[in-house]
């Protein structure tokens, strides 16, 4: 009624894409419970719960009432806690066009392979010098894919590449002193909102659903 076109969650990009497909009626999931199935990592409990399940069902029902050709309400994630899934998404996207490009991306992201279950350990091992860093590979992959962001699938792959590059920096920064890791994550959240608003065009409005410590002054929260 107020003209909002999307809800953006403090949730990982890739798992939210599956939920977005469901509410638009284009996914393969039978219900919202199944569509929430990719929320496997921290903070899983924030989103894989009955409240979000019911909200997703209400958005799907709302989209069904829209006139043919009208833009559906969208749902996005803006967080960086999906580095392995995002890396896989980039490789799958590139494989549709070039096996060589996909192989190169897989090689660049190979240093994440040992940390699929717990990506935070990647930062600990690289900062201590016990493992190779993905920094250069993640940055190079993002730079290569950045030129093609107009189509929906291209934009999604580019955003996944951003998650990998920024998430890689975030996981390393966790093991350093100061507020660097927090600010890296905040910048990614803010930049994602900016990108989504730009794609929505003039007058686009979004609802942002996040913890208060991200939306205000973190000093006011324990």
* Contact in structure between 17 and 37 (CB atoms under 8 Å): no
Strand ranges for 30-181 from DSSP E? 74-79
Q: How far apart are CA 71 and CA 217, in angstroms?
A: 34
Nearest to 59 by CA among 69, 72, 43: 72
Confidence of residue 30 (pLDDT cuts 50, 70, 90): very high
Beta bridge partners of 9: 77, 209
Q: How far apart are CA 59 and CA 64, in angstroms?
A: 9
Confidence of residue 22 (pLDDT cuts 50, 70, 90): very high
* Contact in structure between 139 and 162 (CB atoms under 8 Å): no
CB count within 10 Å of CB 218 equals 14
- pLDDT reported for residue 212: 76
Summarize pLDDT for 111-127 with one digit per residue, the tens.
999 998 888 899 999 99
Alpha helices in 24-109 (DSSP H): 32-35, 44-47, 50-64, 83-95, 99-108
- pLDDT reported for residue 216: 66
Quick check: pTM over 0.75? yes
What percentage of the chain has pLDDT greater than the value 70? 95
């Amino acid at each position: 009624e107020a003209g909002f076109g999307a809800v953006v969650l403090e949730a990982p990009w890739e798992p939210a894409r599956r939920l977005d497909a469901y509410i638009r009626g284009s996914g393969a999931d039978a219900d919202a419970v199944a569509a929430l199935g990719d929320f496997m990592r921290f903070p899983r409990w924030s989103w894989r719960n009955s409240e979000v399940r019911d909200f997703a069902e209400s958005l799907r029902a709302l989209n069904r009432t829209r006139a043919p050709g009208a833009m559906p309400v969208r749902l996005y994630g803006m967080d960086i806690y999906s580095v392995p899934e995002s890396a896989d998404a980039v490789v799958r996207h590139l494989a549709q066009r070039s096996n060589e490009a996909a192989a190169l991306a897989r090689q660049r992201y190979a240093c994440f392979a040992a940390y699929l279950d717990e990506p935070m350990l990647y930062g600990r091992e690289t900062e201590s010098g016990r493992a190779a860093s993905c920094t250069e590979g993640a940055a190079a992959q993002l730079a290569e894919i950045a030129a093609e962001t107009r189509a929906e699938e291209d934009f999604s792959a580019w955003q996944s590449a951003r998650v990998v590059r920024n998430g890689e920096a975030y996981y390393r920064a966790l093991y350093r002193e100061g507020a660097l890791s927090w600010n890296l994550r905040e910048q990614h959240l803010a930049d994602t909102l900016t990108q989504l608003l730009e794609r929505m065009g003039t007058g686009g409005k979004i609802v942002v659903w996040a913890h208060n410590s991200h939306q205000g002054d973190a000093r006011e929260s324990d």
